[in-house]
Amino acid sequence: MTDKKVRVRFAPSPTGGLHLGGVRTVLFNYLFAKKHKGDFVLRIEDTDQTRYVDGAEEYILDCLKWCGLQPDESPVAGGQYAPYRQSERKAIYREYAERLVMQGHAYYAFDTSEELDKNRKEIPNFQYGQAYRDSLRNSLSLPQHEVDALLDAGTPHVIRIKIPADENISFNDMIRGHVSFETNQVDDKVLLKADGMPTYHLAVVVDDYLMKISHAFRGEEWLPSAPVHLLLWDYLGWKADMPQWAHLPLILKPDGHGKLSKRDGARLGFPVYAMTWFDAKTGELTPGFRELGFLPEAFLNLLATLGWNDGTDQEIFTLDELIEKFSIDRVSKAGAKFDFEKAKWFNAEWIKRLNAESLKPKVKATLEEKGITVNNDDYLLTVINLIKDRCVLIPDFYQQAGYFFEQPKEYDLNSVKPKWTDAKTVFFNALITLLNNNEAALEAHDFETQFKALAEEKGLKVGDVMLPFRIMLVGGKFGPHVFDIAALLGKAETISRITKALAEFTA
RNA sequence: GGCCCGUUCGUCUAGGGGUUAGGACGUUAGAUUUUCAUUCUAGAAACAGGGGUUCGAUUCCCCUACGGGCUACCA
């Protein structure tokens, strides 16, 4: 390995929402870059106008921002290798493609898509390569004057790489080790499309070279086209500068088979995108981890451990720890099925770990969404500390904290009414009196003692009035210690809730 | 079909020629919590199959099976 500066890139095409696997690729790139004091660049691969989606690039930037994985160079941040959008680099690619033609490593092809489709349908195992290229319409099979005529006439054409015969191409993948291919099995991929735009194959090689990328991490689905890229690095004369490759394992569907897709999320009820994505064309809204109430810390953590571990039993990592401990050769080779249950566990762990202050803005937002306005931050902080251990996703804070801000709208009457007695009515009325007569009852922390004493005095078992009391304050059978809730609610509010509920219970 | 990659509990994984094959999620059972959750304890649960190599293979090699990816003028 050379000791040149570490530079990695994430190169998405702006075609829609950012998938789990995409974010994991970002994360591994980022971790590797930061660990080695290198640069992380974001390059937008928008060479396919037919698939380009408005707003997708901005969305990707927002995702990276939410995750805290900011690129050092990008279309917005700029950088010394700008532009970072391939559509803005269009002219560059043609030059290299022509150079390859000149050197005999590529050629012009005039076949139409229809003709090729027909061949693919009719000829078993048809591929544009050694076996068939001579019988197709290209600058290898046609006489020179005909090629010139075609070119002069402006006939639509592409430039294809000429894959050599009988060669073995191999390289050392940082994750998989030695990988090899027979060139006879590789087809003559299109390098430059008829519209003048490069395909991924040409663009990725040219840009990785020009942007001085030292390590290239991408999904395993790219492994079969690696020989094309290797050949290009060689033919362009850049072999010595070729990055080290690492092909990341895929993230698979939790059930069934295949790559995880956004459809699976909809089908199985979990997000697949980092953030909610709205498709303006179809009007389709695809939910994201962020909107569902995941913390970025947890999201990154779960992604990091999907296919990577540090060799110890540690599972919870901060970003800084990940940077310190990450190592590409500890990434596993096999694809991983995504498990939403474990994903939620990570989030619950992070909610427990984070202090109330850092949770506050998010909790506040989720409460406000439900129409609850928080005007006392200290009160909210106390509430968060009281309930955060029982929340898995941020929206759970509404269910767990709502009653601290508004009276229960509904009561779990089934748990109360069947067992209601007049003695209980007497007890709660006495409790109101007790509270009214004792200024410091709640604050003094002896409320619990007094409550129990009162129950005995009225001939009731404490257990018989505890649950009704909880339901009066909370509405249901959940929440922290009931006396903590009462203390936080305060005397007036507690009395108000007892009074209101008593009417319902005895109705 | 062809090519490439892969295969340890249901899932994510550790390990690696001789181990009671470890952890986590989930699950089951208990304890704690006069609610629920948390927490704690315990349990069930895995080396795909067949050949080699070896004193000994889950570990190394080969084959098979299975899984996945690619096979576009998409990335």
- Which pLDDT tens digit goes with each residue over A180-196? 999 999 999 999 999 99
Does residue A4 register a pLDDT over 90? no
Minimum CA–C1' distance nucleotide for A186: B3
CA of A225 vs C1' of B16, distance in Å?
33
**Tokens describing residue A362:** 């998010």
Per-residue pLDDT tens over the stretch A48-102: 999 999 999 999 999 999 999 999 999 999 999 999 999 999 999 999 999 999 9
Q: How many CB atoms lie within 10 A of CB A379?
A: 14
Instruction: Please give the pLDDT value at position A439.
Output: 66
Q: Which helix (H) or strand (E) holds A470?
A: helix A462-474
A469-482 average pLDDT score: 95
Give the CB-side neighbour count of residue A209, counting CA atoms within 13 A.
21
Cα–Cα distance for residue pair A437/A170, rounded to 1 Å = 86
CA of A482 vs C1' of B34, distance in Å?
11
Per-residue pLDDT tens over the stretch A263-278: 999 999 999 999 999 9
Does residue A3 register a pLDDT over 80? no
CA of A334 vs C1' of B46, distance in Å?
16
Instruction: Please give the pLDDT value at position A443.
Output: 65
Per-residue pLDDT tens over the stretch A346-360: 999 999 999 999 999
Cα–Cα distance for residue pair A388/A385, rounded to 1 Å = 6
Q: Say whether A189 is catalytic.
A: no
Minimum CA–C1' distance nucleotide for A227: B4
Residue from A34, A193, A253, A262 carrying the catalytic annotation: A262
Cα–Cα distance for residue pair A9/A14, rounded to 1 Å = 15
CA of A239 vs C1' of B17, distance in Å?
40
Minimum CA–C1' distance nucleotide for A109: B73
Chain B positions with any atom < 7 A from a protein CB: 1-8, 10-15, 22-26, 33-39, 67-75
Instruction: Please give the pLDDT value at position A310.
Output: 95
Identity of residue A287: P
Give the closest residue to B69 (Cα–C1′): A221
Q: How many CB atoms lie within 10 A of CB A110?
A: 20
**Percent above pLDDT 70 for chain A:** 98
CA of A424 vs C1' of B25, distance in Å?
44
Task: Report the phi/psi class of residue A480: left, alpha or beta, with left for phi > 0 and alpha for psi in -120 to 50.
Answer: beta
Does residue A445 register a pLDDT over 80? no
Cα–Cα distance for residue pair A147/A142, rounded to 1 Å = 6
Does residue A369 register a pLDDT over 70? yes
Q: How many CB atoms lie within 10 A of CB A107?
A: 22
Contact criterion met (CB below 8 Å) for A192 and A93: yes
**Tokens describing residue A273:** 């995108």
Does residue A127 register a pLDDT over 70? yes
Instruction: Please give the pLDDT value at position A437.
Output: 85
Minimum CA–C1' distance nucleotide for A476: B35
**Tokens describing residue A313:** 């039993």
Which three-class secondary structure state does DSSP give residue A78?
strand
Confidence of residue A389 (pLDDT cuts 50, 70, 90): very high
Confidence of residue A235 (pLDDT cuts 50, 70, 90): very high
Counts of helices then strands in chain A (DSSP H, E) = 20, 13
A119-141 average pLDDT score: 93
Measuring CA to CA, which residue among A341, A345, A260, A265 is closest to residue A298?
Answer: A345
Per-residue pLDDT tens over the stretch A324-343: 999 999 999 999 999 999 99
Contact criterion met (CB below 8 Å) for A460 and A472: no
Confidence of residue A256 (pLDDT cuts 50, 70, 90): low
Give the closest residue to B7 (Cα–C1′): A334
Instruction: Please give the pLDDT value at position A484.
Output: 93
Helices A462-474/A491-505 angle, 10° precision: 100
Cα–Cα distance for residue pair A31/A203, rounded to 1 Å = 25
CA of A266 vs C1' of B29, distance in Å?
35
Tell me the pLDDT of chain A averaged across its residues: 95
Does residue A165 register a pLDDT over 50? yes
Give the closest residue to B36 (Cα–C1′): A478
Confidence of residue A147 (pLDDT cuts 50, 70, 90): very high
Instruction: Please give the pLDDT value at position A446.
Output: 81
Confidence of residue A1 (pLDDT cuts 50, 70, 90): very low
Cα–Cα distance for residue pair A165/A13, rounded to 1 Å = 32
Answering whether pTM is above 0.90, one says yes
Minimum CA–C1' distance nucleotide for A173: B5
Cα–Cα distance for residue pair A161/A168, rounded to 1 Å = 16
Q: Residues with Cβ < 8 Å from A352, sequence gap 6 or more?
A: A388, A389
Phi then psi for residue A177, to 5 deg, are 80, -150
Q: How many CB atoms lie within 10 A of CB A478?
A: 14
Measuring CA to CA, which residue among A355, A366, A418 is closest to residue A393?
Answer: A366
